Amino acid sequence: MTTDLTDLTITQARDKLRAGDISAVQLTQAHLDRIHALDPQIRAFLTITDEKALDAAAQADQRRQQGDDAPLLGIPLAIKDVLITKGVPTTCGSHILEGFVPPYTGTAVQKLFDAGAVMLGKTNTDEFAMGSSTENSGYFTTHNPWDLDRVPGGSSGGSAAAVAAGMALGALGTDTGGSVRQPAALCGISAIKPSYGRVSRYGLIAFASSLDQIGTFGRTVEDVALLLGTIAGHDPRDSTSMPLPVPDYSAALTGDIRGLRIGVPKEYFIGGLQPEIERAVRAAIEQMAAGGAEVCEISLPHTEYALPVYYLIAPSEASANLARFDGVRYGPRHSQGEMWPTYKATRGQGFGHEVKRRIMLGTYALSAGYYDAYYLKAQKVRTLIKQDFEQAFEKVDVILSPTTPTTAFKIGEKADDPLQMYLSDVFTLSASLAGIVGAVVPCGYDDDGLPIGLQVIGPAFDEPTVLRAAHAYQQATDWHTRRPPL
């Protein structure tokens, strides 16, 4: 019975709970059992909240008996450990926040709780969400459920691995330059990075404030849409959250894409793209055309600048955001008797190599004499990248592309080569810089049986069209039904 319950989608589990076939306590216990059986090898969780989860499940069962039918009542989920959770450690995968237990819960997570969701635990992440492989976690590396010698992607690798391995029905992650989409592709699951401003960032520990966005993971587009609909919406506590109505994302999943205009960007099919990925993505585009979509080639001419632009803007914002971690207000303090030596010791011992690298890059780019040459110029090129998409969306409704240049690489393979690691996000950075929607669905496997992800990009705040296109593809294929050989 346990295996069956952890093999469900969110919508299947919800139907069983509504029908009274299973209880939230049974469903939660099945997932906790699976976590304790599998997580010693996968290492997706930094904190497992058994007791809190079972209490929340019991409350969900009680609410249902009283006639409550909230959309996620009794659904067990995982939360990336950069999202603030009251009474549960929130570390951002960093030793500088070791032992930090927040006094409040962030908006997105609170909305899940209000809808009846059960939190199983907090998932591993690259430190402060800086990385593409979860190898930069200050605690341990998460392993890909499809091949334990490989990375799950990053920085939301723990959330993606937990869903792929059946240890959670869905999860929250965050995406600054690809950190939801890239691990979803490498772990063979579905996910969405919504438009910048669609989901409140209140309670998300900031990496790069003009880029960070909370996204959702699930086995199907249906699940991803349900989770997104729950957490989306305006929040007066986040000045970047847009005061727009939230559409019914689930209602958008009609399966009909007749007349949908699909753009295929020539700049995304480049040298260095793994041949199996190109084949799988092109086959997916043909599948969409067979479903009645109109396909045409488009150009996004400033794509080649996305990587350098991102690695100026994101580290600059990180250097400002991470200045608050000094051992004075929260986290461990390495006291040296005086203020400056204490700051230096605390930050020197608390931050890992990648975080230090990005703080130094960003501080340099913002320094007097270099601000105009680097940061300001990067912001101008960012505008050109955004305009590329705006012009493309005058001709097409969505853009289809690969999500990653390769399938999951071996743990340690790129650890000593930051540039190779940064290139893992080459297809996801542009959409983040432009603040637009990006979803991912599985579209095949390579010769080693590793998953390949199709990226569906759409205009700002047009999540319904992106989800409709991704769902229609998923309805016509069965890639999403495959499970890792655990």
Residue 332 lies in a domain: no
Q: Average per-residue pLDDT in the chain? A: 96
Q: Is 373 exposed, middle or buried (0-12, 13-18, 19+ CB in 10 A)?
A: exposed
**According to the model, what pLDDT value does residue 2 have?**
42
Measured in degrees and rounded to the nearest 5, phi and psi for residue 118 equal -110, 125
> Which residues, including other chains, have CB under 8 Å from residue 367's CB and lie 6 or more apart?
none
φ, ψ of residue 247 in degrees (nearest 5): -65, 165
Q: What does the pLDDT look like over 413-448, one tens digit per residue?
A: 998 888 889 889 999 999 999 999 999 999 999 999
pTM of the model: 0.97
Is the residue at 224 inside a domain? Answer: yes
Check residue 331 and give its pLDDT. 86
Reading the block at residue 464, the tokens are 């319904």
List pLDDT tens digits, range 318-368: 999 999 998 888 888 999 989 889 989 999 999 999 999 999 999 999 998
> Is residue 194 assigned to a domain?
yes
Render pLDDT for 159-193 as a digit per residue (tens, 0 to 9). Answer: 999 999 999 999 999 999 999 999 999 999 999 99
Task: Report helix angle 306-321 to 353-366, nearest 10.
Answer: 100
Provide the domain limits for residue 47: 2-261+396-481
Q: Per the domain annotation, does 391 fall within a domain?
A: no
DSSP 392-453: HHHH-SEEEEES-SSSPPBTTSSTT-HHHHHGGGTTTHHHHHHT-EEEEEEEEE-TTS-EEE
Task: With respect to residue 379, please indicate whether it lies within any of the assigned structural domains.
Answer: no
List for the chain the helix, strand, coil content (%; round to 5). Answer: 45, 15, 40
pLDDT of residue 1: 40
Find, among 154, 126, 397, 66, the residue nearest to 261 by Cα: 397
What is the C-alpha to C-alpha distance for residues 82 and 397, in angstroms, rounded to an integer?
33
| Number of helical (H) and strand (E) elements in the chain, helices listed first | 16, 11
**Average pLDDT estimate for 241-270:** 96
Cβ–Cβ under 8 Å, residues 351 and 324 = no
In a domain, 269, yes or no: no
* Spatial separation of the C-alpha atoms in residues 335 and 327, rounded to whole Å: 8
Number of structural domains the chain divides into:
1
251: phi then psi, degrees, rounded to nearest 5:
-70, -20
Query: CA-to-CA distance for 191 and 223, rounded, in angstroms?
Result: 9
Query: Length of the chain in residues, anyone?
Result: 486
CATH number for position 33? 3.90.1300.10
Q: Identify whether 301 is part of a domain.
A: no
Residue 338 is assigned to a structural domain of this protein: no
Could you tell me which residues come within 8 angstroms of residue 175 by beta carbon, excluding any fewer than 6 positions away?
A: 156, 181, 193, 212, 213, 214, 215, 428, 432, 438
The catalytic site residues sit at: 80, 155, 179
- Residue 466: its H or E element: helix 463-476
